[in-house]
Chain A
Amino acid sequence: MSNPDLIARVLAGDPQAERELYDAHVDRVHRLAYRMVGDGELAADYTQETFIRVFDRLGTFRGEAALSTWIISIAISVVYNGQRKVKRLREREADLEDAAGATARGAVAEPDLKVRLKQAIDRLPEGYRTVFLMHDVEGYTHQEIGAALGIQEGTSKAQLSRARAKLRDALSAFAGEWVG
């Protein structure tokens, strides 16, 4: 069934169509949400919120981008907003822990490559990180990324290039893994 037919049925209140639309897109939304937050509970919350918004706003979808891209753009917006709140909460918790002297920082062993890569990805600026995860990890095209994030394809490419450069610097100690 084509997207316009499916959308029309959803807008007409057909519950079967709602489920079809959900099934067609939920994996992609959940995967990306999980990649971005790394937490099952949050990823499920964000996926839930994304589909609630999708159904609420489907009437405003004009077909300027693919439906999947439109849904992903909503998902990214939901994740960004949610993560800002989570970050604020975690900062408060960290402040409390610091104030209580609860954080015992012992000697940390030199992390291995994967740990270092994870840390480096975590430290990327939000925009670079999203583009990197979408393109290099989840396989989105620059066109899709541009449409989902509301940026030019060229900007997406530039951000990916900068993200890779930062990761390369962060992993310089492991250069033997890909050189030679």
Chain B
Amino acid sequence: MTEDRFEEFLRETAQDYHRPPETPRAEIWARVEAARKRDRRTDGQTGRPADGREDAGVLPSARRPVLPSARRTVRLVLAIAAVLALGVAIGRLTMRVPTSRPGPAPIGVAPAAGAARPNVAYQVVATQHLSRVEALLTELKTEQAAANLAPQARDLLSTTRLLLDSPRITDPMLRSLLQDVELVLVQLAQLSPGGRPEERALIDQGMAERQIRPRLRNAIPAGPAAQTRGET
């Protein structure tokens, strides 16, 4: 009995909770129509409204403020891709600078005529490789990705071995970093899919002890200047 009375009381009293006003039908309809018309126009080849204005003829609130449309997401992705491509292009241009303006003679290496170009090539490859390693180690932080890293690690492992075996490597810091990276990659290559968290914790611990991530971060932006340290 009391339960029934409470339910009745609750139903009555709760009517005042967020009591809706009259629906602004016309206003909402105008916004729906305007947004749909704009979407149709934007679907055209130009990707922009036919009259060239973003919100021409549309009430300010007719934009879709709540959830971005798929088209907006695509635009955002394209913009990010463009910025990344620009970054890569700038990076590559920067890498070429030492070939036209060689720095001081590499330490411990007798500068030989025509040797600069192969040195730069080695540096480019080493820098790209270390960037890939850094990306892989970043992925290691996410549980889901960590389960699928072994094939990538094996791929990087072979490149690491090639770089270490190259006669062009004379920088002891780079050699030491590559050796430590090799060790981590061996561990990652053996990581079983869906591997236990303890395995990853051990790898993380090893990397922290050898400060691999900070060393990688230091080595990558120093790529072009590394030549001045004597990498050949």
Contacts and interface: CB of A to CB of B under 8 A. Distances in A.
A137 B29 contact: no
Interface stretch (A38-46, A63-71, A147-155): A38-46
Interface residues of B, number: 33
B25 A26 contact: yes
Interface residues of A, dominant DSSP: helix
Interface string B58-78: 000110111100000000000
B5 A179 contact: yes
A137 B17 contact: yes
A52 B20 contact: no
Contact of B35 (A48, A114, A168): A48
Contacts of A81: 66-67
Given A26-B25, A27-B23, A51-B28, A82 B67 contact: yes
A164 B17 contact: no
Interface in A1-34: 19, 22-23, 26-27, 30-31, 34
B7 interface: yes
- With a 10 A CB-CB cut-off, give which of A34, A118, A137 has the most chain B CB atoms: A137
A117 interface: yes
Contacts of B13: 113-114, 117
Interface in A76-103: 78, 81-82, 85
Contacts of A36: 18
B45 to A, nearest CB: 21
Contacts of A52: 32, 35-36, 39, 64
A162 B66 CA distance: 31
B11 interface: yes
A167 B10 contact: yes
Interface of B: 2, 5-11, 13-18, 20-21, 23-25, 27-29, 31-32, 35-36, 39, 61-62, 64-67
23 contacts: A22-B32, A23-B25, A26-B23, A26-B28, A34-B18, A35-B20, A44-B24, A45-B65, A45-B66, A46-B66, A47-B28, A48-B31, A49-B67, A52-B36, A52-B39, A52-B64, A78-B66, A81-B66, A113-B13, A117-B17, A137-B14, A164-B7, A178-B2
